[in-house]
Chains A and B, each alone.
Chain A
Amino acid sequence: MSAVSDGNLVEVAGLRIEFPTEGGSVRAVDGLDFTLAPGGALGLVGESGSGKSATAYALLGLHRGTGARVSGTVRVAGTDVLAAQDAELRRLRGGVAAMVFQDPLSSLDPYYAIGDQIAEVYRVHHRGSRAAARARAVEVLDRVGIPDAARRARSRPHEFSGGMRQRALIAMALACEPRLLVADEPTTALDVTVQAQILDLLHELRAETGMGLLLVTHDLGVVAGSVDDVLVMRGGSAVERGPVTEVLRAPADPYTRALLSAVPRVDLRSAEGEERAAAPVLVKSPEAPVTSGEGGDVLLEAVGLRREFGKGRERLRAVDDVSLTVRAGETLGVVGESGSGKTTLGRMLVRLLDPSAGQIRYGGREIGGLGEKALRPLRRDLQMVFQDPVSSLNPRRSIGESIADPLRAAGELSDKAVVARVKELLERVGLDPDWYHRYPHEFSGGQRQRVGIARALAPGPKLIVCDEPVSALDVTTQAQVVALLAELRRDLGLSLVFIAHDLAVVRQVSDRVAVMRGGRIVESGTVDEVYDAPQDPYTKGLLAAVPVLDPAESAARRADRRELRSVMVTAP
């Protein structure tokens, strides 16, 4: 039965997946059909909650034993996944269809060497000695570009960088030469340059081995250069499908159009980007933010800022000799990859961290060395919005109370005044004032981030440092939050420091931008200068790695990157 194959590698028909919850069951996937030809590549695109991951899991029968109810037909390489015996399913998993997961750190066993984990998987599907399995592990690690694979195979996952871990997971998938690779958000946790490398790797492997690829992602830019066909999902069913070129160039469904226009574009100036924020949502569009660039007074100035962590040999210089200015009413974008020191810098600017050296001047006054007591009056002026709207709100306090905290800390004592002000703030950030007594878990990610913004606004700040405020959000929600920040800045005359790893988002919101790498600012200037005529090779590399929505352009860039790599390899 498993040998029968009628042409298609994957056949899904009438797929329904329901998850039982306390208040009745939730239908994650509702009547989905699609097929994938051998060697083909399909992108499954949708926002969180669209059912795309649940679909991917169903292909390997991973819902079995979890309580989820799956119905319909799922055939992978001729195996009826829903009806298969456990043993049959185990042969399918890894041997015929292999999966690459989103978070490469938690997806590997922390206690075992990476090579051993790959060898273990290989031995599940192949008879043979341990030594042969180890050799295979080294071989695939080498194939995915792990340098010195024989030695690194003995490392444990925590000794690998994020990009290398994802390569290791792909190596595990390759170990048994599967006919189908299911990749669930394989690059979402990675920096933009690493993302480009991983996508290039998947592309090469597909050409080389002829395996089929099912790429699950929320990022339309990721599918553009990596798949042949795309299927856009919303609320558990398909809203649009077709060749990737057609869907991205001329989307037929309004939802696809909204999704596309919400994608921040690194190649568009902010005035053009206005369209992005306006299209999918009913939030006022941000004004072209060039107005305040030159004229404003310097509000905050950092000179030779430095921060070190640890001591002795393990000392790490997270921020190294950084100088910058933030003018009243402007947005300064700080962009960099993980580990570049951008968060450390942001925290020092609002004095949540003490600088190891250098000065911070606020309104002309040196505040870098002030003690907690002297800082207290300044805390009202300098606020922060954090990346993770889930963990930065106390789950046991109502959102109203969370927003009220900084007001009370600033000395406002009358309950009536506090509640009135909080309700006003809730309204200001686009939430219902009557939600005062609700708790964080009742809100979506975007709504929670609005709460975070309201909390930062509460004491009436002059400067808000936003640390990756939208990186945990879907593109459409991202666009809404970005629009809200721009609107607040304009209406309240705020200055913003906008920290992000996403170059496109930074371009959209910022007047000026600073590019960080290894604790230093490698390039800074107005957005147009930096994005349209980058001077530093690192900035150029970053910009070249950003996924683009045009499949043809994406292919051209991939070719450029390959050339660049071969040049770098051959160079002495």
Chain B
Amino acid sequence: MTRFLLRRLFQAAVVLVVLAAVLYACFYLAPGDAARLACGPKCNTAQITQIRGQMGLDDPVYVQFWHFLSGIVAGHDYSTGTDVLHCPAPCLGQSYRTGELVTTMIGQKLPATASLAFGAMVLWLVIGVGTGLLSALRRGTVTERLLTGFTLVGTATPVFITGILLLLVFCSWLQWLPYPSYVPLTEDPQQWAWNLLLAWLALALVEAAKYARLTRSSMLETLAEDHIRTFRAYGVGERAIVVRHALRGALTPVIALSALDLGTMFGGALLTETLFNIPGLGQQLVQSVQIKDVPVVVGIVLVMGLAVVVANAVADVLYAVADRRVVLA
């Protein structure tokens, strides 16, 4: 187990460094001058030169990249000409545009993204696994055909369509819910959930379709296994067979996939965030890309990468816990 964790940690570090390097390279190859952007439209050439020096943009690219990497481990001090700004240990640099520390910015946006991702996951697991199990156990009936239809529609509809429809129905026509605006969990848990509900639902409906299909096929596969036949041949009731012997095997791939999807959700919920006005990482990322705010973009993408890598490791561990025959190595 320890060896597995160490190896995973090392892999994660390699993945993240490569990710950062690629991003850095992309933004340096792209046209445009960061110092001019940072300084604003009214700067003259002398001011830009000065700012370029302050930002370390005169150094070779690899030196800048090195400063960036060492900043993550050891922190970094930025001089603003008169004053020194200390950026503590996991330092991801400061925004070209606002001068704010990237870690602070991410810290502000992360709770919204995490709220969206976790809430949506709970919903999609409940809806997806539920319909999947139901359609596996009611195979060949009208129920199954209806549920299959539902999952087909769910998979085929993009999240922005589902989202707009939900807004239209619940906020505009029925007026059961206010148009969503994000309220942090720490401020008012009830308002937090109320405002996020439609966003969760929009994401969950699309994901649930996928999970329903996976659960259904995995359940049917498990029910066809030899050991299920054994317990049938010994008079064990169908309910006990499903609950005790089939569910565990059938849900193992579902658990593994949901860990992965959760990781992706940290970076992939961009459309939902925009549509439902959630101030999360996705929104911030789009803004920062548009104004070429390299440190912010690199920082956010690194956090997303970290989420995916961690989710992968968690998925592996969950898999091994569910199925003792799997050896972690």
Is A95 close to B, CB under 8 A? Answer: yes
Pair A110/B323 contact, Cβ less than 8 Å: yes
Is B82 close to A, CB under 8 A? Answer: no
Is B231 close to A, CB under 8 A? Answer: yes
A95 to B237, CA, bound (A): 13
**Binary B-proximity of A97-128 (CB < 8 A = 1, otherwise 0):** 01101010011111110000000110011000
Is B188 close to A, CB under 8 A? Answer: no
Pair A109/B325 contact, Cβ less than 8 Å: no
Pair B230/A107 contact, Cβ less than 8 Å: yes
Contact A111-B233, Cβ < 8 Å, known A103-B226, A106-B226, A120-B244: no
Is A376 close to B, CB under 8 A? Answer: no
A111 to B230, CA, bound (A): 14
Nearest first, the 8 closest Cβ-Cβ pairs linking A and B are A94-B234, A93-B235, A106-B226, A90-B235, A94-B235, A121-B234, A109-B227, A99-B233
> A94-B235, A121-B234, A124-B235 provided; 6 other pairs, C-beta below 8 A?
A62-B232, A99-B234, A109-B230, A120-B244, A124-B237, A172-B230
Q: Specify which chain B residues have a CB less than 8 angstroms from the CB of A110 in the assembled complex.
A: 227, 249, 323-325
A101 to B230, CA, bound (A): 8
**Binary B-proximity of A151-164 (CB < 8 A = 1, otherwise 0):** 00000101000000
**Binary B-proximity of A427-468 (CB < 8 A = 1, otherwise 0):** 000000000000000000000000000000000000000000
Contact A109-B231, Cβ < 8 Å, known A101-B226, A120-B244, A156-B324: yes
Q: Specify which chain B residues have a CB less than 8 angstroms from the CB of A62 in the assembled complex.
A: 229, 232-233
Is B225 close to A, CB under 8 A? Answer: yes
Nearest CB of A to B22, in Å: 34
Q: How large is the interface on B (under 10, 10 to 19, 20 to 34, 35 or more residues)?
A: 20 to 34
A120 to B235, CA, bound (A): 10
In the complex, 24 of the A-B residue pairs with CB atoms within 8 angstroms, ordered by the A residue number, are A89-B235, A94-B236, A99-B230, A99-B234, A101-B226, A101-B230, A103-B226, A107-B226, A109-B231, A109-B245, A110-B323, A110-B324, A110-B325, A111-B248, A111-B324, A112-B245, A120-B231, A121-B231, A121-B235, A121-B236, A124-B235, A124-B236, A125-B235, A156-B324
Q: Specify which chain B residues have a CB less than 8 angstroms from the CB of A101 in the assembled complex.
A: 226, 229-230, 233
A373 to B212, CA, bound (A): 50
Pair B249/A111 contact, Cβ less than 8 Å: yes
A93 to B227, CA, bound (A): 15
Nearest CB of B to A173, in Å: 8
Nearest CB of B to A99, in Å: 5
**Binary A-proximity of B301-323 (CB < 8 A = 1, otherwise 0):** 00000000000000000000001
Nearest CB of A to B321, in Å: 11
Pair B325/A158 contact, Cβ less than 8 Å: yes
Among residues of B, the one whose C-beta sits closest to the C-beta of A99 is B233
Nearest CB of A to B328, in Å: 14
Q: Specify which chain A residues have a CB less than 8 angstroms from the CB of B227 in the assembled complex.
A: 106-110
Pair B235/A172 contact, Cβ less than 8 Å: no
Q: Specify which chain B residues have a CB less than 8 angstroms from the CB of A111 in the assembled complex.
A: 245, 248-249, 323-324
Contact A95-B235, Cβ < 8 Å, known A101-B226, A111-B323: yes
Among residues of B, the one whose C-beta sits closest to the C-beta of A118 is B234
Pair A93/B233 contact, Cβ less than 8 Å: yes
Is A60 close to B, CB under 8 A? Answer: yes
Is A249 close to B, CB under 8 A? Answer: no
Q: Specify which chain A residues have a CB less than 8 angstroms from the CB of B235 in the assembled complex.
A: 89-95, 121, 124-125
Max chain B C-beta neighbours (<10 A), residue from A89, A98, A107, A109: A109
Q: Specify which chain B residues have a CB less than 8 angstroms from the CB of A158 in the assembled complex.
A: 325
Q: Specify which chain A residues have a CB less than 8 angstroms from the CB of B324 in the assembled complex.
A: 110-111, 156
Among residues of A, the one whose C-beta sits closest to the C-beta of B232 is A62
Nearest CB of B to A290, in Å: 45
A121 to B230, CA, bound (A): 10
Q: Specify which chain B residues have a CB less than 8 angstroms from the CB of A172 in the assembled complex.
A: 230, 234
Nearest CB of B to A508, in Å: 33
Nearest CB of B to A527, in Å: 38
Q: Specify which chain A residues have a CB less than 8 angstroms from the CB of B240 in the assembled complex.
A: 120
Q: Specify which chain A residues have a CB less than 8 angstroms from the CB of B248 in the assembled complex.
A: 111
Pair A90/B233 contact, Cβ less than 8 Å: no
A139-178 with Cβ < 8 A to chain B = 156, 158, 169, 172
B212-248 with Cβ < 8 A to chain A = 225-227, 229-237, 240, 244-245, 248
Nearest CB of B to A468, in Å: 22
A95 to B325, CA, bound (A): 31
